[in-house]
Amino acid sequence: MPYSNERATASGGFDILNDPDVKLFIESVQTVRDHGDRINFIRDHLIDVTDRVHDIDGGVIMASDASPYESVVKKDFPSIRVGVIKFSEVLILVNDYKKLRDRNTPFVDPVAVAQLKKQSSQSKVILPGAGITHADYPKAKSFFRATVFNDIFKADQFKYDNTTLYDTFVELLRRSGKRDNLADGAQPYGDDAVVLGSIVTRDGKEGIEFKNKSPVDGAPLRENLFVPIHPGYVDIGGDPAQRVYVTDSLRVQEVFNEEGGNTECFNRLMSVLEHLRVIHLIHCAFKADLSIVANMNFIVDGPLAIFGEAARFHRSIMSLLHDIRAECRKKGLRGPLVMGISKTGKVVEHAQLIEHLLTKDSDGKPMDGTYILPVTDAYRTTFIEPDKVETGSNFGDETYYGQTFLVRTSRNKVFDVTLAYPFPRKGIRDGVPFKRAKVDLQNYGEDIAHMVSVIEMMQTDLFQNALIPIHLAHRYASIAHSPGGKSLDRFIREILANKEAA
C-alpha cells in the first residue's frame, strides 16, 4: 500500500503484462462463449406479445430507488465515519401522465418529464459507522443496531396510516419459514412454545429466538435468547448496553466493521430496505383501501431478489404479496403489479449481445411489435451463466421472488425485467416442478399483459433502455461522490465541529 499522496509508478504494470505465465493464463481462459450455432434456439424462445399490449386505464405507477454514501467525519481520522442512505419514490398518476403525453408522437416531451419531479418524494437515514458512539451506546455496533430499530423500523417517516415499517416486518417474520409445502403448518418448538414462520409463542408472548450467537458481540449464546415482539427488544442481564432487537434478525450487523469502512454493511441494509419499503407500502395500502392497492404498479430498481444474510425474507414478501393479490381478485380487482428493472448485470450483457436477434428476423428484416423472452433455468445456464451447473434445484431458490424476462418493446428497446411470481411459495404446482411453472405464461394471468403495457407506456429516449419512473427515482436518490458527496462530508464535519466547540 502506498503512503498518503504517494503516486504509483507509471510503468509498474509492465512486468506483469510481459510475464509469459500471465499471457498463458489469459489465452487459456474462456469469457464470452460464441453462440452463433444456436441462433435458432434463441429465436425459438421469443414470444410475440404484441396483442397483449393495451392502453392502461387509471391507477398509479410508483418507482423507487436508493443510494448509500459513507462520509469521513474527521479529516485526520479517516476511520471515523457516518453513513447516509437516501431513498426516493416517484408516484405517477396514469391519467395525469397520459394528459401530458403528446398523442401525435411516440416520444415524451422532456418538459413534461421535468414536471413529474413534483410527484417525487425523498427520505434519508443517518447511520453511525466506525468510531461513532452515543452516551447510551458505548460501542459503534450497538449504536448502529439501535439506529436501525429506532430510526428506521420505528420511525415516523416510514409510517403510513399508523402502520410502521416494524409492523410490516413482524408480518414478514410470521411468513419467513422456509417451508414450501402447502400442507405444512405450525411446527412444535420445545415443550412450551409453538412456532409459525420465525415467530415463537412462549408463555403467551410472541417473539423470536436467537440460538447460536449474540447479535451484540457475536459471542456464543449459552441458551436460546427470546426477544419479545413487543416492545421489540430485550436487555441481556438487564443491561441496556446488551440490548438485542427483533430487527437484529436481518443480520446486517454481522458485517459491521468497528475499525474502518462499512460500505458493505450500509449497502446490504439499503438493499433489503428497498424491498421491505415496497411491500410495506403495498401492505399499508391494502389495510387502508383494497381499491387503492388493486391499481398500483411498482417498479423496483434491480431484480426482485434479496441477497446476503437477509435473503430469507424474499419468501415472506412472496407470500404476503400473493395473499394481497388473492384478496383483490376475490373482489374482481387486478391487484398490485410488482416488477424489477435491472440496468446492469449478466442478463443485461447477454441482451446486448443478442440485440440483433431481438430486433431482426432470420432474413434481416426489422421485427415489429412487442416480444418477451422468458429466461428459463436451462436458457440461463446455457447462454448467460454457463459456469453454473444445471441441477434439479430452482435458480434463485434462496434469493428471488420474481421471474426474469427480456422484454423487447415496439421501439426496439430491450429491458431486463423481473416479474413477481404468481405463487404464494416455491414448490410443485399441479404436479409441475416450480422451475417450469414459473416460466409458464398462463400462470401469470393478466400480469404479463400489464407488465409489457407499463413498459411500453413508460419507455423514454432520454437514456438507453430507460423508463421514466426509474430515471426520476434514481435522479432524486443518487448522491454523487463529487460534488454532492464532498458537500455532505463538509456538512457533517461542521456539525461535529460546532458540537465540540459548544
Mind listing the pLDDT tens digit for each residue in 357-371? Answer: 998 888 888 899 999
Instruction: Indicate if 411 and 355 belong to the same structural domain.
Output: yes
State residue 318 phi and psi, 5-degree precision. -60, -45
Our count of domains for the chain comes to 2
d(CA 485, CA 478): 10
Q: What is the arithmetic mean of pLDDT over 479-493? A: 43
Which residues on adjacent β-strands are paired with residue 300?
64, 340
User: Is 330 inside a domain boundary?
Assistant: yes
Query: Looking at the domain assignment, is residue 18 inside a domain?
Result: no
Residue 336 CB coordination number (10 Å): 25
How many other C-beta atoms lie within 10 A of the C-beta of residue 245? 23
Looking at 208, 235, 256, the residue that finishes a domain is: 256
pLDDT of residue 492: 38
Q: Is the pLDDT of residue 301 over 80?
A: yes
Same domain for 222 and 282, yes or no, is: no
- Say if residue 343 is in the same domain as residue 294: yes
Top pLDDT among 415 and 458 is at 415
What pLDDT sits at residue 465?
61
Same domain, residue pair 469 and 452: yes
pLDDT of residue 146: 96
Co-location of 249 and 150 in the same domain? yes
The full DSSP string for 111-146 is HHHHHGGGGEEEEEEEEE-TT--BTTB-SHHHHHHH
Q: What is the pLDDT of residue 120?
A: 67
State which of 238, 256, 274 marks the end of a domain: 256
Of the pLDDT bands very low, low, confident and very high (cuts 50, 70, 90), residue 113 is: low
**Is pLDDT larger for residue 120 or for residue 313?**
313
- Report pLDDT for 164: 96
In a domain, 218, yes or no: yes
Residue 81 falls within a domain, yes or no? yes
Contacts of 106 (CB under 8 A, 6+ apart): 411
Q: Residue 401 — very low, low, confident or very high, per pLDDT cuts 50/70/90?
A: very high
Residue-wise pLDDT for 418-432, tens only, equals 999 999 999 888 899
Mean pLDDT of 75-79: 80
- Residue 101 located in a structural domain: yes
User: Same domain, yes or no, for 385 and 348?
Assistant: yes
Q: Tell me: the pLDDT tens digits for 191-234?
A: 444 445 688 888 889 999 998 888 988 888 888 899 999 999 99
pLDDT of residue 266: 95
Rounded distance between C-alpha atoms, residue 391 and residue 379, angstroms: 13
Is there a domain that residue 23 lies in?
Answer: no
Q: Please say which residue of 256, 286, 306 terminates a domain.
A: 256
> What predicted TM-score, i.e. pTM, was given to this entire model?
0.85
More confident residue, 472 or 236: 236
Residue 349 lies in a domain: yes
Structural domain harbouring 163: 131-256
Residues 198, 323, single domain; the answer is no
Is the pLDDT at 351 greater than 60, yes or no?
Answer: yes
CB neighbour list of residue 258: distance below 8 Å, 6 or more residues apart: 130, 139, 140, 141
497 and 391 co-located in one domain: yes
